[in-house]
Amino acid sequence: MAVKRQTVSGSPAKSLGRESRSEYDETAPAFAKSAVRVAVLTHSSATDILTLSPAKGLRGQVSIPGDKSISHRALMLGSLAEGETTIQGLLLGEDPRSTAACFRALGADIAELNSECVRIQGVGLGRLQEPADVLDAGNSGTTLRLMLGILAGQAGRFFAVTGDRSLRSRPMGRVVEPLRQMGASIWGRAGGTLAPLAVQGGSLKGIHYCSPVASAQVKSCLLLAGLLAEGTTQVTEPALSRDHSERMLRAFGANIQVDPEAKTVAVVGGSRLVGQKVQVPGDISSAAFWLVAASIVPESELLLRNVGLNPTRTGVLQVLQEMGADIQIENCREMAGEPLGDLWVRSARLRGCTIAGDLIPTLIDEIPVLAVAAAFAEGITVIRDAAELRVKESDRLSAMAQELSRMGAQVSEHPDGLEIKGGIPLHGAEVDSHEDHRIAMSLMVAALGAQGSTLLRGADCARISYPDFIPTLQRLTASSLES
């Protein structure tokens, strides 16, 4: 196939000393001269290949795309509410598109997705229609798991749900088992632990479920099922997971009770949800890639705007600051019940640390890119209590150990984590995304600080959660594109 070169201009920035941050100027000369080259070889088995060269300073500002967790929940609750819901700042990744497609098939009137304003006319609790076809969650575990809780209480209707190859291999028993305890009728492969799954909607009763894992997906699934259940549904976790569902359910009118000391959340059945105006903050999981990239690439300084700072999600900031990262938080405010602010990050010498315990649920999605930070940090970083990463879109512990090792990092893999000896220069290598968006973007960040070129297979999956990641990377490094 013909190769066509297109030059993409950077977004130049002047040197951003702390004294000049209020006078940020996007039109000043660019500093970075690295190159990011993309060659799409095929759209079948090879998918795509991205070749990255070392960066020499990332400078500029980034508007972080909408939070994926909040985008999913806004689409779902807007569909279940009475009246109109408007969503501003929605993430336009593939996962929220899967959620929107499913709830359109269930009868909700969802306008064309955009980041400006999406309007939803909800159907009301318990009034979803029986779809004419199988509901396809794509690659989105959040869509499938949370939707199971919603569908289980739709009495008298039948639903079939599935996902792509990756999702069909991910465990669903963690939500199916407690839903069955509530009275749900769910069948599927491997005793109902793997999709495709069939759901016969019926009457549910509230339970008190003690989850063996701190999982926002498990908790949210059961709270959503509890909306239509008789009595009160309670979920107790071993550690507090992200609380976006509790915040948004309360905003939509649900009777939500939270006991932080007991790590328990409850919902009383029979609530009436009413449409709301939702503003989606920037996703701190997406911001984490730029936080690490700017920290490890010398002469970097980035301003990340409108980043969600929900306290159940800010573990990545705590860890990076413990590692010595130069991060400042400014312009803190609250929007639709969610705290947010702007983050300044500059390059810094990092040091190893331990990431474990109750901190893990607050940064579970950021561990792949924190592993990259650890490879560039002086000393040893230990990651423990993160076995949950083995059942994500890929086995993220194995994937990061394998790919960072190919780049020369010293990584030891353990059942629930990694041990990384940092400070050893990485070199370019041929690496693979494992069809996992967070692995793909983490490896792109690692390549920016490596010596020589890195060839990344399967980079296109980054679009699942961050459609503009590669273009943004090109802009921040004032680079060129081949396609």
Residues 260 and 374 in one domain: no
Residues 380 and 397 in one domain: yes
pLDDT at 335: 79
pLDDT at 25: 33
* CA torsion through residues 118, 60, 308, 148, sign: positive
Cα–Cα distance measured from residue 442 to residue 153, given in angstroms and rounded to the nearest whole number: 39
Name every residue whose Cβ is closer than 8 Å to that of residue 165 and which is 6 or more positions away in sequence.
none
Q: Pseudo-torsion of CA 182, 188, 190, 196, nearest 10°?
A: -120
Cα–Cα distance measured from residue 167 to residue 461, given in angstroms and rounded to the nearest whole number: 14
Is 365 tagged catalytic? Answer: yes
pLDDT at 3: 24
256: enclosing H helix or E strand: strand 255-259
CB 400 within 8 Å of CB 470: no
Cα–Cα distance measured from residue 350 to residue 295, given in angstroms and rounded to the nearest whole number: 8
pLDDT at 179: 98
Residues 84 and 137 in one domain: yes
Average pLDDT over residues 130-135: 98
**pLDDT tens per residue across span 328-360:** 999 999 877 789 999 999 999 999 999 999 999
Per annotation, catalytic residue among 365, 432, 436, 460:
365
pLDDT at 16: 30
Residues 88 and 181 in one domain: yes
Cα–Cα distance measured from residue 161 to residue 450, given in angstroms and rounded to the nearest whole number: 42
Residues 448 and 424 in one domain: yes
pLDDT-derived band of residue 56, with 50, 70 and 90 as boundaries? Answer: confident
DSSP one-letter code for 165: H
| Nearest-5° Cα angle at 324, 310 to 286 | 40
pLDDT at 480: 29
Look-up: residue for tokens 């080259």? 37
Phi, psi at 267, each rounded to 5°? -130, 140
Name the burial class of residue 29, with classes exposed (0-12), middle (13-18) and buried (19+) by CB atoms within 10 angstroms of its CB. exposed
Residues 51 and 125 in one domain: no
Residue in 448, 425, 440, 396 with CA at minimum distance from that of residue 291: 448
Q: Which domain holds residue 187?
A: 68-279
Candidate from 38-47, 325-334, 415-424, 429-438 with smallest mean pLDDT: 38-47
Residues 390 and 423 in one domain: yes
Residues 239 and 336 in one domain: no
**pLDDT tens per residue across span 160-186:** 999 999 999 999 999 999 999 999 999
The structure tokens listed for 273 are 């949800």
Flag whether pLDDT at 33 surpasses 50: no
Name the burial class of residue 45, with classes exposed (0-12), middle (13-18) and buried (19+) by CB atoms within 10 angstroms of its CB. exposed
Average pLDDT over residues 393-404: 97
The structure tokens listed for 68 are 């994926």
Flag whether pLDDT at 4 surpasses 70: no
Cα–Cα distance measured from residue 330 to residue 182, given in angstroms and rounded to the nearest whole number: 45
Last residue of a domain, one of 232, 255, 279: 279
Neighbouring CB atoms inside 10 A of 85's CB total 26
Average pLDDT over residues 106-135: 97
Flag whether pLDDT at 228 surpasses 90: yes
Residues 226 and 97 in one domain: yes
DSSP one-letter code for 298: T
The structure tokens listed for 284 are 């701190």
Candidate from 33-42, 53-62, 267-276 with smallest mean pLDDT: 33-42
Pick the residue with more confidence: 164 or 24? 164
Cα–Cα distance measured from residue 385 to residue 356, given in angstroms and rounded to the nearest whole number: 6
pLDDT at 48: 80
Flag whether pLDDT at 26 surpasses 60: no
264: enclosing H helix or E strand: strand 264-268
Cα–Cα distance measured from residue 422 to residue 473, given in angstroms and rounded to the nearest whole number: 24
pTM of the predicted structure, to 2 decimals: 0.84
Concatenate the DSSP letters of all residues of 77-135 into one string: HHHHSBSEEEEES---SHHHHHHHHHHHHTT-EEPPP-SS-EEEE---TT-PPPPSS-E
CB 444 within 8 Å of CB 373: no
Cα–Cα distance measured from residue 443 to residue 437, given in angstroms and rounded to the nearest whole number: 10
Residues 43 and 141 in one domain: no
Residues 301 and 369 in one domain: yes
Last residue of a domain, one of 279, 297, 328: 279
Flag whether pLDDT at 35 surpasses 70: no
Name every residue whose Cβ is closer than 8 Å to that of residue 1 and which is 6 or more positions away in sequence.
none
**pLDDT tens per residue across span 461-471:** 999 999 999 99
Neighbouring CB atoms inside 10 A of 18's CB total 11
**pLDDT tens per residue across span 298-307:** 999 999 999 9
**pLDDT tens per residue across span 368-377:** 999 999 999 9
Residues 303 and 329 in one domain: yes
Flag whether pLDDT at 435 surpasses 50: yes
Average pLDDT over residues 274-278: 96
Flag whether pLDDT at 479 surpasses 90: no
**CATH number of the domain to which 292 belongs:** 3.65.10.10
* Total number of domains constituting the chain: 2
Percent of the chain with pLDDT over 70: 89
Last residue of a domain, one of 256, 279, 302: 279
pLDDT at 109: 98
Average pLDDT over residues 198-209: 98
Mean confidence (pLDDT) of the chain = 89
**pLDDT tens per residue across span 437-474:** 999 999 999 999 999 999 999 999 999 999 999 999 99
Q: Where are the alpha helices (DSSP H) in 305-393?
A: 315-322, 367-376
| CA 67 to each of CA 89, 263, 405: distance values in angstroms, whole numbers, following the listed order | 8, 24, 31
Give the strand pairing for 301-308 and 204-205: unpaired
Neighbouring CB atoms inside 10 A of 9's CB total 11
Concatenate the DSSP letters of all residues of 46-77 into one string: S--EEEE---S--EEEEEPPBPHHHHHHHHHH
Name every residue whose Cβ is closer than 8 Å to that of residue 361 and which is 6 or more positions away in sequence.
214, 215, 216, 237, 239, 240, 241, 242, 312, 315
